[in-house]
Amino acid sequence: MYEILSVAIAVTLATSVFICIRWRNLECTGPTPLPLLAFSAILFTSGLDVGLIMFPLVEFPVYASEEQYSFTNPLAIEFGFWGFLVWAFYFLTTFYFCVIEPKVGLFQLKPIRWINNLIIIATCAFTAFLFLSYVPSYIDGISDLEKYSLVALIIGLAVFSSTHIRYVKILSLASSGLFLLLTLVMLGASGASLQDYLASASNLSGYFENMHRFISPISDYHGWYLFWWFAWSIMIGQFVARFVSGLKTWQLLLALLVIPSIAIGLWFSTLYYYFVNQIEVSGILRGAMVTLGVIFVINSLDSLIRLYTDNLGFDIHRLGHSKYIIGNCLLIGTLVLLYQFTPFKIEWVGLVVIGLYAAVYGLLFRRRKEFYSS
Q: Where are the alpha helices (DSSP H) in 241-345?
A: 249-276, 283-312, 316-319, 321-341
Residue 109 pLDDT exceeds 80: yes
Which whole number is the average pLDDT over 91-103? Answer: 92
CA 350 to chain centre: 13
Torsion of CA 319, 324, 326, 331, to 10 degrees: 110
Residue 149 pLDDT exceeds 80: yes
Residue 113 CB neighbour total at 10 angstroms: 15
3-class SS of residue 248: strand
Q: Which is nearest to 60 in space by CA: 219, 339, 271, 345?
A: 271
Higher-pLDDT residue of 241, 2: 241
- The CA-based diameter of the chain, rounded to the nearest angstrom, is 61
Residue 168 pLDDT exceeds 80: no
Which whole number is the average pLDDT over 282-295? Answer: 84
Dist CA 152 CA 167 (whole Å) = 19
Higher-pLDDT residue of 306, 249: 249
Give backbone dihedrals phi and psi of 245, rounded to 5 degrees, phi first: -125, 80
Would you tell me the crossing angle of helices 346-366 and 220-240 to the nearest 10 degrees?
50
3-class SS of residue 163: coil
Q: How many residues does the chain have?
A: 374
Q: Are 267 and 183 in contact (CB under 8 A)?
A: yes
Q: Which residues contact 56 (CB under 8 A, 6 or more apart)?
A: 78, 267, 268, 271, 272, 275
Q: What does pLDDT average to over the chain? A: 87
Dist CA 126 CA 108 (whole Å) = 25
Q: Which residues contact 124 (CB under 8 A, 6 or more apart)?
A: 300, 301, 304, 305, 308, 332, 335
Dist CA 242 CA 38 (whole Å) = 12
Reported as half-sphere exposure (CB side, CA atoms, 13 A), residue 5 has a value of: 25
Amino acid, res. 191? G
Dist CA 120 CA 124 (whole Å) = 6
Amino acid, res. 32? T
With bands split at pLDDT 50, 70 and 90, how would you rate the model's confidence at 304? confident
Residue 372 pLDDT exceeds 60: no
Q: Which is nearest to 243 in space by CA: 104, 94, 84, 89?
A: 94
- Specify the pTM: 0.85
Q: Which residues contact 104 (CB under 8 A, 6 or more apart)?
A: 363, 364, 367, 370, 371
Give bridge partners of residue 368 from the DSSP assignment.
Answer: none
Residue 51 pLDDT exceeds 80: no
Amino acid, res. 216? S
pLDDT score for 371: 54
What's the first-to-final CA gap in the chain, in angstroms? Answer: 36
With bands split at pLDDT 50, 70 and 90, how would you rate the model's confidence at 302? confident
pLDDT score for 232: 86
